[in-house]
Amino acid sequence: MMAAGLAASNLVLYAFVYTPLKQIHPVNTWVGAVVGAIPPLLGWAAASGGQISLNSMILPAALYFWQIPHFMALAYMCRHDYAAGGYKMLSLADTSGRRTAMVALRNCIYMVPLGFMAYELGMASGWFCLESSVLTLAIAASAFSFYREPTTEKARKMFHASLLYLPIFMAGILLHRQTEMSTDELSSSMSAEVEDREDERSRSHAKKKELLDGSNFGTRVRAPVAYASVAPFPFLPAPSYVSS
């Protein structure tokens, strides 16, 4: 229900709030960032049975903050196209480009603690904390370069940096993920599960053999047709057997 609710809410937010806002106010970028951040939270809710925790907010936070420099770069590069299409973007009212670049830089800085949070919450190893920090500082450097010299070329470099950031960040958290159980505990758990399945298979085999041997029917073994004739038609009298 949690996943379904998030999906329905995101559909409404995208179609009836974000899309109309594009031609009304520059805040549409931040609303769109919320729309883009919900899918990983939706996936977490579906996989965890509707449980939302601090761990579940790492990827949504990364996607939310990442979208701001990504779209600020795009909005600055295509500002004339946005103006011609009637879309209200922050870059249209920012002739110098510095305000657009500052917003992008600020959100890049917000992404710096995410690797440390993933490590502290036990989601990823210390290596991911280090790699995420270096990666985030790299995109922040491109945003700072755009701030110092707000040109289309600098915006394009920041845009390219944002395209690299997200897949590397997600690959890193996947590669360095931590499970709740250690390797030894996981191995022991898997061994116990295999043993339980083997025991269950043995008991099932013994039970089938017992039925075939007729141990549940006394000393007389009934033909298989007896069981089939009684089971589908319980209203019929049980067949009689004549001992030979």
Q: What is the DSSP letter of 17?
A: I
- Give the residue, 203 or 66, on which the prediction is more confident: 66
Name, in order, each residue with C-beta under 8 angstroms of 18's C-beta and a sequence gap of 6 or more: 28, 31, 32, 35
Phi, psi for 124 (deg, rounded to 5): -140, 165
Q: What is the pLDDT of residues 86-108, one digit of tens each?
A: 999 999 988 889 999 999 999 99
Say yes or no to pLDDT of 231 above 90. no
Which residues on adjacent β-strands are paired with residue 124? 177
Q: Record the pTM.
A: 0.71
What confidence tens digit (pLDDT) does each residue in 123-171 have? 999 999 999 999 999 999 999 999 999 999 999 999 999 999 999 999 9
What integer is the mean pLDDT of 69-79?
A: 94
pLDDT band at 197 (very low <50, low <70, confident <90, very high): confident
